[in-house]
Amino acid sequence: MCSLEQHYSAADIETRILAGIRAAGLDTDRELSPAELGALDHFHTGGLQASRELLVMAKLAAEHQVLDVGAGLAGCARLLAAEVGCRVDCIEMSVDYCTGALLLNRLTGLEERIAVRQGSALEMPYPDNTFDAVWMQNVGMNIAPKQRLYSEIVRVMKPGGRFVFQEVVAGHVPLSYFPLPWATEPAHSHLVNTEELLSVLEGCGLVAERFEDVSDTQLGTNVANSTPAPEGQLGLKIFVDDLAEKAGNARRGLEEGQIRYVRGVFRLC
């Protein structure tokens, strides 16, 4: 799974992150910008660049209340809060990622605009009709009950709200290379193909404003944040074991038609 492969104490995880940031030459005594942390905290295909492109597609505004589902270290939430000025709620299953997200929010001075809650995307602790937009990057591939996931997303969205996402979907050939960045073994991977994804989204009342397969673009082929950063540079290696092997398997899977990368903006009608 994408969660940390080892559980750390809150103090350990903070120490680990701070050491990684300082080793990359960043001064943690000054306020850091979300972009400076981008190689560490955008844990998805295409990294920070993919988030920026999705942000342009999302057309969010400062007055919007946004939910980031499976927020990880909340890199996307900080990008939204800093560049759009909106308030972002994060829901994240892993306690360790929540601890890391809170630390990075503090280091970037964005803790007032970003709330982090530990919990499941399948049972979110928010009332109906709360959010103007729900953001989700590379999370659904770890969650088997798709109908329940997307129904829950729709439940917390206001009518007319937007669902903004990026996802890994199944290709026409079964997965065969493991470990992958999101699954060390087949039982942890829950990919559906594009048709199945669209069917469940539409069945939940979401209408596509934009939907695209980016597998063959630079974004899909440059598995940016899955490539181990060189020594002295910030990267996911702080958290993820065997990153080179996992990234290599994802690349082979893409080349051989086992996986595709898609993204979209859907409106709740």
Ligand X SMILES: C[S@@+](CC[C@H](N)C(=O)[O-])C[C@H]1O[C@@H](n2cnc3c(N)ncnc32)[C@H](O)[C@@H]1O
User: Which residues contribute to the site for ligand X (CB under 6 A)?
Assistant: 2-3, 42-44, 70-72, 75-76, 91-94, 97, 120-122, 137-139, 142-143, 182
Cβ at position 3, least distance to ligand X in Å: 4
3-class SS of residue 76: helix
Which of 120/233 has CB closer to ligand X?
120
Cβ at position 250, least distance to ligand X in Å: 11
Which of 60/63 has CB closer to ligand X?
60
Cβ at position 142, least distance to ligand X in Å: 4
**Contacts with 49 (C-beta within 8 Å, 6 or more apart), sequence order:** 219, 222, 224
- Cα separation, 121 vs 134, whole angstroms: 11
Which of 137/258 has CB closer to ligand X?
137
Q: Which residue of this chain has its Cβ atom nearest to ligand X in the complex? A: 72
Cβ at position 122, least distance to ligand X in Å: 5
- Cα separation, 262 vs 249, whole angstroms: 18
Cβ at position 118, least distance to ligand X in Å: 9
Which of 42/260 has CB closer to ligand X?
42
**Contacts with 248 (C-beta within 8 Å, 6 or more apart), sequence order:** none
Which of 150/182 has CB closer to ligand X?
182
- Cα separation, 138 vs 115, whole angstroms: 20
Cβ at position 166, least distance to ligand X in Å: 8
Q: How far is CA 215 from the centre of its chain?
A: 17
Closest-CA residue to 154 (of 130, 138, 137): 130
- Cα separation, 81 vs 154, whole angstroms: 22
Which of 76/204 has CB closer to ligand X?
76
Q: What share of the chain is helix, strand, coil (3-state, %, to 5)?
A: 40, 20, 40
- Cα separation, 82 vs 33, whole angstroms: 8
